[in-house]
Chain A
């Protein structure tokens, strides 16, 4: 079955600390992969996407994700988080419309 799995439902980190949000996809999912961010009471916004080419993709606000075919992973990372990064993050695959269950990132001052 096709699936996208986010391994952590919540990730608490201190401000300015690094963070990794984990995402694994089943091999039957197309290798078009996305990370979306949802701020409280809002819709989702695209953070970054992997379509082809370089396995490392970056967003404009310092997040990056690496497509790893052998580990079927697309983990999201940021070297230093800010309070404004507090949000829920969703990994998604696109062969069929599949979203992970989300990871709530909470930043402690």
Chain B
């Protein structure tokens, strides 16, 4: 089955700790994305990558970091610099960035900072 997976589904973190969210896809897509979802605010783009070893900041990149060392993987690190990290995080991929290409989404990771 082709698809996009995120792990873990639920994640708890103490204040001041970095945490890494996993995102893997086996769709052979070039483009991958990270979104943050808060109630009533829709989806906000954190980072996106159009190709391996390349990524760009989205609208709310402060306090986050990413890497794209492999085509299949696009992990997101939430650093201690992110002031309000509790949210639902969604990873997505598409054949290429923009244009007529739909995005395929993972099931999400709910991060709670204690």
Contact = CB atoms under 8 A, between A and B. Distances in A.
Given A41-B110, A97-B98, 8 more contacts: A30-B98, A32-B100, A44-B90, A49-B102, A51-B100, A94-B100, A97-B103, A101-B41
A99 B43 contact: yes
Interface in A25-84: 30, 32, 34, 36, 41-46, 49, 51
8 contacts: A36-B105, A43-B6, A44-B43, A49-B102, A94-B99, A97-B33, A97-B48, A99-B42
The residue in A36, A90, A94 that gathers the most chain B C-beta atoms within 10 A of its C-beta is A94
A21 to B, nearest CB: 14
A34 B45 CA distance: 17
A32 B33 contact: no
Nearest to A32: B100
Given A43-B108, A97-B48, A9 B40 contact: yes
A16 B104 CA distance: 30
A90 B100 CA distance: 17
Contact of B105 (A41, A44, A95, A102): A44
A32 B99 contact: yes
Interface in B25-49: 33, 35, 40-43, 45, 48
A64 to B, nearest CB: 17
B110 to A, nearest CB: 8
Which 7 residue pairs across A and B have the least CB separation, nearest first? A43-B105, A101-B42, A44-B105, A99-B43, A51-B100, A32-B100, A102-B42
